[in-house]
Amino acid sequence: MLRKLIFALLWGSLPVFAEPPAAKPLFVMTVNGVIDPVVKNYVLDGLEQARELSAQAVLIRLDTPGGLLDATRDIVQGIVNAPLPVIVYVAPSGARAASAGVFITMAADVAAMAPLTHLGAAHPVQLGGGTPGVPQKSKNDNADGKKDGNASALEEKMVSDAAAYARALASAKGRNADWVERAVRESVSQTSDEALKNKVIDLVVADEAALFAALKTREIKKNGAAWTLDLAVAPRVNFAMNLVRRWLHTLAHPNLAYILLVLGFYALVYEFSTPGIGLGAIAGVICLTLAFFALQVLPLNFAGLTLLIAGLIMMAVDVIVSSHGLLIFGGLISFALGSFMLFDRGPSGARVSLELIVAALAVSGGFFGFLLKKIFDIRKARPVSGAESLVGQTAEVREEGLVFLNGALWTAEGAEGLPRGANVTVLQVLGTRLKVQKIG
């Protein structure tokens, strides 16, 4: 008994070597292209997964020309309220954080850029009316660049709201709020080195290894907590877009969705108005499916969609009932109104470009005009089958009172007294007899 007690005491005094806790991972996302609802959902899902994994930090590699303001605000809220540090790294060299990218970069706990990158030009513009993220001169601008008295009040409100929003984000992170406000109001831009010098960002690093080394000696404060990150040896969790999201991200542009919608309808109308082998129907179904696939992630205005489809239907009906162009004219008006109203043009900034709408109107008028003319020509054409198809044809006299036509002998009125071999024209079909007239 004494021996067992001594053994238990000795065993309990031995040091216990437990396995070291696993290092917390680095959660990595990549955002390329326009900021749209697909990207928003991707980033927010990633932030949630990073929280569930108890990641050390989230790294977002960013390269964007801009995007929808509503989607950008949701991403910014997700970054600001995330319970862990979020690093935005504008990379690789040649990348940009334009327009919406400025807001996302300013929301980050660490804003870093690779050499030969730039950010800025955050003036709100309409997505679809040109290159996203590139400011365009307003139709209300005078020659000296100043707004005239007809400048849009909505645009002014959007700019002021966006400027205040950007300034608040920069101030909260101790960055140059004055320059960020200028990026919104005046669309100024900076290179990575200029942004670092002007305290708009925190770091300029050549690659992720240099970024991790710089962060190792840097304390990050957020929501009353402080972090010192050791990311060089941290396990890496790469969170990529799935196939469906990549498809939606490619399609989710107002102009592309609009083109697919209109082309799909044209293909179906052409298929049903002219005999074919189904290629038009197949193309139409594919285009419309892709169009509605894209419309589900864009700020769709159902009144605009209704007007657009109603206009297309009116033009198609004109081809069938032949209102001599009246329905086509009304359809073009409805089509134009629907095109302008297709997307909510509030803070989201989505719209179909004016140039595309004008082109679609011209093509629509030409397309349905062509179909209308083709159908009129078919209706005017002489029947190609039945007894009536014989009227106007040339027959040959074989015997008195008989003519030869289309491989058969016919009893004919008007062929009496004509020599064998004479040519006559069929004037009328009277049952099994033909009324003919000598040619010449």
**Per-residue pLDDT in tens (0 to 9) along the chain, 440 residues:** 555 545 555 555 544 444 445 579 999 999 998 898 899 999 999 999 999 999 999 999 999 988 888 899 999 999 999 999 999 999 999 999 999 999 999 999 999 999 999 999 988 865 554 433 333 444 444 444 454 444 467 778 889 999 999 999 999 999 999 999 999 999 999 999 999 999 999 999 999 999 999 999 889 999 888 989 999 999 999 999 999 899 888 888 888 989 999 999 888 877 776 666 678 888 999 999 888 888 877 778 889 989 999 998 888 787 767 666 788 888 889 999 999 988 876 555 568 888 999 999 898 888 777 777 776 766 665 555 556 677 778 888 887 788 888 777 888 887 777 788 888 888 888 877 888 888 86
Q: Looking at residue 403, what is its pLDDT?
A: 85
Q: Looking at residue 60, what is its pLDDT?
A: 98
Where does 387-438 sit in CATH, by number?
A: 2.40.50.140
Q: Looking at residue 214, what is its pLDDT?
A: 95
Letter string b/e over residues 25-38, b meaning 16 or more CB atoms within 10 A of that residue's CB:
bbbbbbbebbbbbb
Q: Quick one: fold of 21-131+153-242?
A: 2-enoyl-CoA Hydratase; Chain A, domain 1 (3.90.226)
Q: Looking at residue 407, what is its pLDDT?
A: 73
DSSP letter at 164?
H
Q: Looking at residue 169, what is its pLDDT?
A: 97
Taking the C-alpha atoms of residue 334 and residue 315, their distance in angstroms, rounded to an integer, is: 10
Q: Which residue has the tokens 């862990």?
A: 84
Q: Looking at residue 84, what is its pLDDT?
A: 96
Q: Looking at residue 153, what is its pLDDT?
A: 76
In the chain, CATH 3.90.226.10 covers 21-131+153-242
Q: What are the beta bridge partners of residue 399?
A: 402
Provide the CB-side half-sphere exposure for 247 (13 A, CA): 11
Q: Looking at residue 326, what is its pLDDT?
A: 81
Q: What's the Cα-to-Cα distance from 179 to each of 80, 119, 289, rounded to whole Å?
A: 21, 11, 44
Provide the CB-side half-sphere exposure for 78 (13 A, CA): 23
Q: Which residue has the tokens 């997307």?
A: 343
Q: Where are the beta strands (DSSP E) in 254-357?
A: none
Pick the closest to residue 310 from 326, 293, 294, 330 (CA basis).
330
Number of C-beta neighbours around residue 415 at 10 A = 24
Q: Is 179 helix (H, G, I), strand (E, B) or coil?
A: helix
Q: Regarding beta strands 408-413 and 96-98, do their DSSP bridges make them parallel or antiparallel, or are they unpaired?
A: unpaired
Q: Looking at residue 349, what is its pLDDT?
A: 58
28 backbone dihedrals φ, ψ, rounded to 5°: -115, 130
Q: Looking at residue 128, what is its pLDDT?
A: 52
